[in-house]
Structure 1
Amino acid sequence: MPYVISDPCIKSRDQACVDVCPVDCIYEAEGRLWIQPDECTECGACESVCPVTAICYVDAESDDQDLREAREFFDTVLPGCDGPIGSPRGAQKVGRIKSDHPRVLKIIKGVD
């Protein structure tokens, strides 16, 4: 199934993965980047260029926390948003998302 981005990406502003993604499925949010699991084609281009080694492949059937959170990020209404992001088929047309997963927002705001 898809690649996911994990916590080492939080507050990292490097976007080498965005530049190499051939399907534009890596979205920028307030505190980190997210791969849209339904749009990822599993090419792996992003994994090799991540300077903080935050990207890895996960099985779609696993109970991986990063995959669960990615699905929540795209499928639920984020704080301050009117509706879920869903699968817009292109991060460039969406632009920077001015919210994030609630757990990530707590981390970047220093709230436990």
Structure 2
Amino acid sequence: MKAGLAALIAGMLVASPTSAQPLAGGWSAGQTTNPEVREAARFAASQLGHHARLAHIDAASQQVVAGMNYRLTLRLTNRQRWEVTVWRQLDGTMKLNGKQRL
């Protein structure tokens, strides 16, 4: 039993480049329609300071940390595109950790 559990944990922690399993702690695909992803996107758009609102989420990925990181590609109502990183802390508060205009 111990050997089987150890093998399972090792398989979760180390994924080969061709493996379909995500690497623990690494980025994985996110769903642009997920309510938490959408909330993070709206928060990020509000922090960009361009008096524009979120028009569309073009791409999303997420990473489990002490909370959740969201890496998002956003399109705003003023037609600007941004790649942003939002950290949702364990208490639910959010922080914009990175932004780059595309």
Q: Greater CA radius of gyration, 1 or 2? A: 2
TM-score band, normalised by the shorter chain?
Answer: under 0.3
* Structure (1/2) with the larger strand percentage: 2
Output the TM-score relative to the length of structure 2: 0.27
